[in-house]
Structure 1
Amino acid sequence: MDSTIQHTLITIGGVNYDIDVSQILYLSSFVDFQGKAQPQGTKLVHGPIPLIDVALKGIQSGYRQCFRALPPDLSQHHILCETYDFLGIDILGEQYVDQIFADLKACKTDYELEYKRYLAIKGNKSKARDAAFKLLYLILMGEFRDENKDSMKVFNAVLFIVSHSATFKWKTRTMIRAAYQERFVVTLKQIARLDEWLKGDTADDVDGDNTTTDESSDENYNSDYS
């Protein structure tokens, strides 16, 4: 078996997957080990890996897809994040709260001066939605350097997501909020602020990846609100 082949057919939990193992440390090591242990082997079989189908979809098509694929159940998101950790996927890279927040803001329309006219530059909603999952992963799996200071930074990022419903749909906003409230001590003032934006939300607001959605939710947002 040639372990240098990038796309490899692996049966995981009885389901066949065609995977670029170069992106996944654990599966790359698994393929390499099996190739050495059974040089004449033609089939790679691995036991079940929780939510592997969702994990692969996130790797292949962007982490934003994870919100669409999972129900609004925080325990399922915990399992998915643990699977990513097991697979050796570096979700965060070198990013921390500030860098993730900057990517969240990529959804907003910017303006550039050209020939004495300001031209609108459409925001990158896919980048922002991927960043939302990174924030979720950080909240559920990350370690914080300064619990008090960082909790405020995370709250501001959560509030940004909750307050931009044209970019971040119902399941995303609901799970981000639930993760924050599970991980940190939340003040009554913070709960009231989050309630203000989520009031009237329904599950009918399906999480899509339509990057042409109108950015009508660029409301007056105070990023320093606590």
Structure 2
Amino acid sequence: MAIKIGDKNHDIDLSKIPYLSAFVDFQARAQPQLTEFIHGPIPLFDVALKGVESGYRHCFRALSTNLTQYHTLCNTYDFLCVDILGELTIDNIKYELTIDDIKFDLKRAKINEDRCGMPLYDDYRVSRNAAFRLLYLILLGEFKDEVKDSVKIFSAVRFVVSDHKRFMWKTRKIVRAAYEDRFVSSAKQRASLDRSAKTSPVNLSAEYYSDVSTELWWSEPPEYDYATDDSDF
């Protein structure tokens, strides 16, 4: 559906953004003669749309490490009625943080490892999307027992901060900043995060390569249904 947000035109799958779906439906009913739907500016809408269409991990790449921007973005998602968490609990998110998204059966496809020693189609999209869900939960989530739940949140945050291969430095920094902004952390917890966060400046470029190599340089692997393929491997 073509819709103008602020001064920019977009072609949007409205089924993914309930608020805009309701907005267009109301406008169409109220003014059947309308041929163009126009909505006022929505803060960080381009970033929010990229997250909906391509995966929430892209939000980390689009923004700086200014926590205020993430508050704005999460409020925009809330305004648009985008269900970031669904039925996911912190336990579900912790599980998703640790798994690898491998669309191809690497053994059956016999895909050789690339020159960096990483499988060609092996990446961490599920984990990186889960990192944004964790951030959203920290910023806007409601907890029945904030003291008890903060322990689980801390465990998830520490995992993100410590995994320099799976999560880019901006992701690690902003997830920690969000946690320390929402919860009261002990000296022991801060020391634990400090130890996990340590990395040398020399490794920052390598971390960036690790983050983009599995998605940007090789692009998204094509969908392929091996169950319908009769060829020999």
> What letter matches 1:194 in structure 2?
L
Measured in 2, the distance between the counterparts of 1:48 and 1:182 equals 28
Q: Which residue of 2 aligns with 1:66?
A: 59
- Superposed displacement of residue 108, structure 1: 9.3
Q: Which residue of 2 aligns with 1:171?
A: 170
User: Which residues of structure 1 form unaligned runs of 5+?
Assistant: 1-7, 115-120, 213-226
> What letter matches 1:211 in structure 2?
T
- C-alpha change, 1:201 and 1:73, in structure 2 (3 Å) is farther
Q: Say which structure is richer in helix.
A: 2
User: Which residues of structure 2 form unaligned runs of 5+?
Assistant: 108-118, 216-233
CA contact (8 A) 1:51 1:83 kept: yes
1:87 aligns with 2:87: no
Q: How does 1:183-194 map to 2 (within 5 A)?
A: 183-194=182-193
CA contact (8 A) 2:101 2:126 kept: no
Q: Which residue of 1 aligns with 2:143?
A: 144
1:211 aligns with 2:210: no
CA deviations over 1:118-172 (Å, ceiling 9, x no partner): xxx9965100000000000000000012111110100000000111110101000
Q: Which residue of 2 aligns with 1:216?
A: none
Measured in 2, the distance between the counterparts of 1:199 and 1:20 equals 41
CA contact (8 A) 1:11 1:44 kept: yes
Measured in 2, the distance between the counterparts of 1:39 and 1:193 equals 60
Q: Which residue of 2 aligns with 1:157?
A: 156
Q: Which residue of 2 aligns with 1:38?
A: 31
Work out the number of aligned pairs and report it: 197
Measured in 2, the distance between the counterparts of 1:159 and 1:201 equals 18
- C-alpha change, 1:18 and 1:182, in structure 2 (3 Å) is same
CA contact (8 A) 2:139 2:178 kept: yes
> What letter matches 2:43 in structure 1?
P
- Superposed displacement of residue 77, structure 1: 0.3
Percent pairwise identity: 54
CA contact (8 A) 1:170 1:201 kept: no
Measured in 2, the distance between the counterparts of 1:183 and 1:126 equals 26
CA-based RMSD: 2.4
Q: Say which structure is richer in strand.
A: 1
CA deviations over 1:14-34 (Å, ceiling 9, x no partner): 001110001111000011011
Q: TM-score, normalised by structure 2?
A: 0.79
